[in-house]
């Protein structure tokens, strides 16, 4: 679809590419292709204990709205737990961050990324899944980590080790 910014966009309840990343399931509701690169919208389902490793993407403004569960967001200078109905907005250039589902059931968030680009990263590194399916958490080996890191860098992201924040506190 070519830059339909002046057209109505809809995504049905069973539409949108579904991808698994390290056990989290992301459904691309609107992609940069559909919005002319202006933004992307992603429905994120995160199992208990799930979430991405610490990372930063200076070129994206990322906003999360928690639909279900409790999600702990960690930043360089603070940690907060967002509950159902709460919004967390990470400004462009917001620094290193990550999130983790601290609920006993799946957490679900609606994520809007401005401009688009994170969706393209997910399409490249994610593994497609069918609706209703989720893949178990997957520990990436060294080769997969290097591949993901290289892809992330192409999309303006930097990935950090899972223990990044623990090491920072110890310093």
Residue (of 52, 96, 61, 101) closest to 78 by Cα position: 96
Q: CA–CA separation, 128 vs 119, rounded Å? A: 13
Q: Which two tokens stand for residue 30?
A: 């609107």
Instruction: Give yes or no for residue 2 having a pLDDT over 60.
Output: no
Domain residue limits, the chain: 18-170
Residue 10, helix vs strand vs coil: coil
Confidence of residue 137 (pLDDT cuts 50, 70, 90): low
The domain made up of 18-170 has a fold known as Jelly Rolls (2.60.120)
Strands 158-159 vs 55-56: parallel, antiparallel or unpaired: antiparallel
Record the pTM.
0.90
CA dihedral (128, 67, 51, 97) positive or negative: positive
pLDDT tens-place string over residues 97-109: 999 999 999 999 9
Tens-digit pLDDT profile for residues 57-73: 999 999 999 999 999 99
């Amino acid at each position: 679809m070519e830059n339909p910014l002046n057209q109505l966009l809809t995504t049905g309840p069973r539409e949108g590419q579904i991808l698994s990343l390290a056990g989290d399931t992301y459904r691309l509701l609107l992609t940069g292709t559909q919005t002319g690169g202006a933004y992307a919208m992603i429905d994120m389902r995160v199992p208990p204990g799930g979430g991405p490793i610490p990372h930063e993407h200076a070129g994206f403004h990322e906003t999360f709205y928690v639909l279900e569960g409790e999600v702990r967001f960690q930043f360089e200078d603070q940690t907060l737990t967002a509950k159902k109905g709460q919004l967390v907005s990470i400004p462009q250039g917001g620094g290193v961050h990550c999130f983790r589902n601290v609920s006993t059931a799946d957490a679900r968030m609606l994520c809007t990324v401005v401009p688009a680009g994170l969706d393209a990263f997910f399409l490249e590194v994610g593994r497609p899944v069918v609706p209703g399916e989720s893949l178990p958490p997957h520990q990436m080996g060294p080769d997969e980590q290097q591949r993901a890191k290289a892809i992330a860098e192409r999309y303006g992201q930097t990935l950090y080790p899972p223990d990044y924040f623990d090491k920072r506190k110890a310093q």
